[in-house]
Amino acid sequence: MPRLASSKGLRRAEIEDIEQAVLVVGSFVSTNVHNKEEDPDMKVYDVVPGLEFDPERDLAQSPAWFLDGTHSVPPWTPMFGWFWINFCRHGMQYGAETLSLPTVKGWDWRFHNGGGYLTLLLVKTEEEKQRREEKFKKAILPLIQNYDGIWNGFVKEILGRYEELKRLDLDKATNIELLDNFEQTINTCRRMWEIHMYMMYGTYTAYILFENMCRELAGIDDTSPLFHNIVSGFDNKVFQVDKRLWEFSRRAVNDGLAPVFTDSEAPDIKEKLLASDKGRVFMKDFMEFMNEDGWRMQRMSEINLPTWVEDPTPALGMVKQFILKGGSFNLDDERQKRSSDRQAAEKEVMAKVPVEQRGWFEQLMRLAQKSGIFSEEHDHYLDLYTHAMMRRSALGLGRRFVQAGALDNPEDVFFLIPDEVRRAGINPDQYDLRYIVDRRRNEWLEWQKTPNPPAILADGFDLDQAMAVLVKSNDPIALKVVVGSMPQVRPELKADLYGSCGSPGVAEGIARVILNEDELHLVKEKDILVAASTSPSWTPVFSMISGVVVDRGASLSHAAIVGREYGIPVVMNVFEGTTKIKSGQRIKIDANLGAVYILDN
């Protein structure tokens, strides 16, 4: 919890007044922002020194701070929170400044009880907006003209960094080598976020500019099925990984190994495969695939779960799902249809564009079409892989600290922050870090019990005002990832929930409410998935389901992009889907209208 920097020298009554500062979130009132209890025998740093939420200072800077519910629910471990707050913050400001975005300078971030809170850094004057706009027109051109070359170059660069990190045998390395590997990992994370946000701001800004032209010239926006057709029908690395998993499912059937999968729970599959000659060969090849593309965890934004390289159970579970489903890799068939629909949609819209504007319109369209590809591929090459490297390096140090008596368990290292790792890195036998771990773990466990408020607002500033600032900012991440289109309640539809269209279509089926990745095995053929949001590790289940309802989402969020590629309807931003809909209920969704109907109780 953040300290109140201004409390020094105040009377006790004044300090208590500050400690009870009220954070208004719509009708939500939070009084849990206060000082940590001070123990004179113990000095423990804040989790993110300098970037812990301070209600007095930070609400003076900005009247609205939004919880990043997609990434920081449930609350982060301290080490991961340190990495994310420091470097996602840096990357967003780096990307916005490198491109000279006209209206925003990125986002600022704060850490509070395991959650990430962010606020926009707005360009304040019209004169500065005009200066930045002139620079932006030049800065965006390389991406418009050579997206593939730039992105492929970044992929090569970051993969090279990963290979360098993996080259070190962590269990044979010296303490100095382990610490150096950790420092290189920190630098890799920083560089990853620079690449991440330069590319994201570039492609997503083009997406908004293209949508604006479509709205003006063709009367459509990114909730229109015609617009969806224009930006769909493309392959990407995440889909390629899914296809490899499907190919292993076909191999298991051909090798007579299908019963090992279908008759076993996912955690038991590996051991049973290793009990036969064919199974051992299968697992050898499967682990080679994992070492290439398995540097990911079930939760993208954390490091306290094993990677597929450490434990391939989630990946083997997906192979099992493909075996049970049978048939071809239906995304290949869907992509052919999507590609044909895209070409027809391009012609239809282009016919409405004046001849003199078609050149610029097409250039923006081509870059906007890359947005969905980048949205999925960056998760694979950037977030997931870097977080796996963070886990790998930290655990190497954690094991060494246990050997030296500084920690009890290697994973206790996730309750430290880099300065504490540096303190003990070279001579861990000289330090006992357990008192830090115990205190931080207890705080982390408390964070799990009390959800962070969705926003922290200054007194007198309401949620509607805060949302208006986000929309006015024209920030592409705010509009197309964080906020999205607000649902329009249409009483004549008599729907139980209202949202916005992420992918067009109508579906009726059994609802399957999934709150985290561990429950994905519960999804059955033709279910309608109901979730708070989705991420790349959820992609394989899209081949089984008939529709999606998500509490939060926007046109460039994972559920919308993957839903469009699979040709299934997606209703986003219903806000209360996971609380009002129960697993097993029959529901109907009409994504074209943004309507959800609960057909039975």
- Greater confidence (557 vs 111) lies with 111
Contact 577, 497 (CB under 8 A): yes
What's the CATH fold of domain 484-598? Glucose Oxidase; domain 1 (3.50.30)
Tens digit of each residue's pLDDT (9 = 90 or more) over 475-496: 999 888 877 777 889 999 999 9
Residue in this structure with the two tokens 């994370």, named with its chain if needed? 189
Tens digit of each residue's pLDDT (9 = 90 or more) over 265-290: 999 999 999 999 999 999 999 999 99
Tens digit of each residue's pLDDT (9 = 90 or more) over 422-471: 999 999 999 999 999 999 999 999 999 998 998 999 999 998 898 888 88
Rg, C-alpha atoms of the chain: 25
Residue in this structure with the two tokens 């997609």, named with its chain if needed? 70
Phi, psi for residue 331 in degrees, rounded to 5 = -65, -30
| Residue 415: predicted pLDDT | 98
- Mean residue pLDDT across the chain: 91
Q: What share of the chain in percent tops pLDDT 90?
A: 79
**SS3 label, residue 469:** helix
Residues whose CB is less than 8 angstroms from the CB of residue 576 and which lie 6 or more positions away in sequence, other chains included:
497, 551
Residues whose CB is less than 8 angstroms from the CB of residue 599 and which lie 6 or more positions away in sequence, other chains included:
508, 585, 586, 587, 588
Side-by-side strand order, sheet with 23-25:
28-30, 23-25, 455-457, 64-67, 115-122, 104-112
Give the C-alpha separation, 188 to 98, whole Å. 19
| Residue 43: predicted pLDDT | 59
Q: What is the mean pLDDT of residues 92-120?
A: 97
| Residue 15: predicted pLDDT | 34
Of 255, 176, 7, 205, the closest CA to residue 100 belongs to: 205
Phi, psi for residue 75 in degrees, rounded to 5 = -55, 145
- Greater confidence (34 vs 539) lies with 539
Contact 290, 312 (CB under 8 A): yes
Which residue(s) pair with 509 in the sheet? 587
Give the C-alpha separation, 488 to 505, whole Å. 18
Longest dimension (CA), the chain: 77
| Residue 121: predicted pLDDT | 97
pLDDT at 5 over 50: no
CA 482 from centre of chain:
10
Phi, psi for residue 348 in degrees, rounded to 5 = -60, -45
Tens digit of each residue's pLDDT (9 = 90 or more) over 579-592: 999 999 999 999 99
| Residue 597: predicted pLDDT | 98
What are the sequence ranges of the domains in the chain? Answer: 12-80+105-133+450-481, 245-333, 484-598
